[in-house]
Amino acid sequence: MRLLLTGKRGQVGWELERALAPLGDLTALDSRQLDLSDPDLVRSTLRQLDPDVIVNAAAYTAVDKAESEERLAFRINADAPGLIAAEAVRSGAVMVHYSTDYVFDGRKPGPYLETDASSPLGAYGRSKAAGDDAIARSGCSHLVLRTSWVYAARGKNFVLTMLRLGRERDELRIVDDQLGAPTSARQIAAVTAIILARSLERAGARYRLRASHDGVVNLTAAGSTTWFGFAQRIFALAGGRAPRLVPISTDQYPTVARRPHNSVLDRRRCLEAFGVDIPDWSTGLAQCIDELRESGRLAPTGETQAV
C-alpha cells in the first residue's frame, strides 16, 4: 500500500510519519516539497506518486493572522483539500484529513456531534469548514478526523508556550471560561494509524474504507478543562519553579479572532466504529511532559528551572 503524508513538519504530521510507516510504503512531504497553495504542484505531485491513501496533515493554522490572510487560509485549508479530494476520486485513493473544533461557534451547551452544522466565528474556522464541505461533496472515500486543542513536545502550542512563559514571568493570566479537550499529536497519530488498519479493505487494485467508516469522526482526548485548568496541570506535572496563575475571562484577554467558548466534541462514534479511544486529556499531557524531560528540554521534577 502506498501512502502519502503532507505536512510532515507539523505537530501532527511529525508524529504521523512514525505512526503510519508500518502500514506500507510511506512518502512524507513538508510544505517546501509540496506547497498546498500551488494547485498545479498539488495535482502533479499526486499524479506522479499515485498513492492509495492520502493523509493530509498540512494546514494554515495561524488563527489570528487568518483574519488578515483569509484568502491564503482558504487556498490551503479549503481549495487544496477540495483538489486533493477530486484527485482521490479520479485515482480511487482514500483521503484522510484533519478538521477542528473551530468550525463551531461554541454556543452549544453540550458536546458537538459530527452531524452538527458548522458555524465558525472567524476566518480560520470558515476555511476549515469549507475544506470539510469540499471533501464531502467530492464523493471520495474519506475520513475527516476532527480534533481540538492540539499540542506536542515540538512546534508552537499552548504547552510549550506556558513552559516558556513560566520561566520568564512570575505571574500568568489564563482564560478560564473556554472549555475543551487538550489532545496530543502523538495520540492523534497513533489512533489514526489504528483507524486505517481497521478500516481499509481491498477493492480490486486499490483500497477503500468500509462504508460505515466513511465521513467525519471526532477524535479528541476524553474529559475537558479550561485553558486555566490546562495550565495548572502543565506546571503541576513539570515540577520545579512555577508562576502564579490567575484565572481571567475571555473578555479580559482580547484576541484578533474570536474563540468558541465550548470546544468539547462528542467521542462516541470513534469508539463505536473503530473500537479505539483516547484516554483522559491529562494522560497525554503527562506523556508529553515526560518526553520533554527525557529529551533534556525540561528540568527534572523538583529542580528549579533557570529563569
The distance in angstroms from the start CA to the end CA of the chain is 49
Q: What is the dihedral of CA 242, 244, 250, 255, to 10 degrees?
A: -60
Q: Could you tell me if 204 and 285 are in contact, meaning their C-beta atoms sit under 8 angstroms apart?
A: no
Does residue 112 carry a catalytic annotation?
Answer: no
The single-letter DSSP state of residue 78 is: I
Q: Could you tell me if 172 and 245 are in contact, meaning their C-beta atoms sit under 8 angstroms apart?
A: yes
Q: What is the dihedral of CA 50, 52, 53, 54, to 10 degrees?
A: 10
Measured CA to CA, the distance from residue 269 to residue 258 in angstroms comes to 28
The per-residue b/e assignment along 82-101, b for 16 or more CB within 10 angstroms, e otherwise, is bbbbbbbeebbbbbbbbbbb
Beta bridge pairs of residue 147: 100
Measured CA to CA, the distance from residue 2 to residue 228 in angstroms comes to 43
Catalytic option among 124, 151, 207, 253: 124
Q: Could you tell me if 192 and 265 are in contact, meaning their C-beta atoms sit under 8 angstroms apart?
A: no
Q: Could you tell me if 153 and 287 are in contact, meaning their C-beta atoms sit under 8 angstroms apart?
A: no
Q: Could you tell me if 286 and 186 are in contact, meaning their C-beta atoms sit under 8 angstroms apart?
A: no
Cβ-based neighbours of 131, under 8 Å, separated by 6 or more: 77, 78, 80, 81, 82, 97, 99
Cβ-based neighbours of 32, under 8 Å, separated by 6 or more: none
The residues assigned a catalytic role are 124
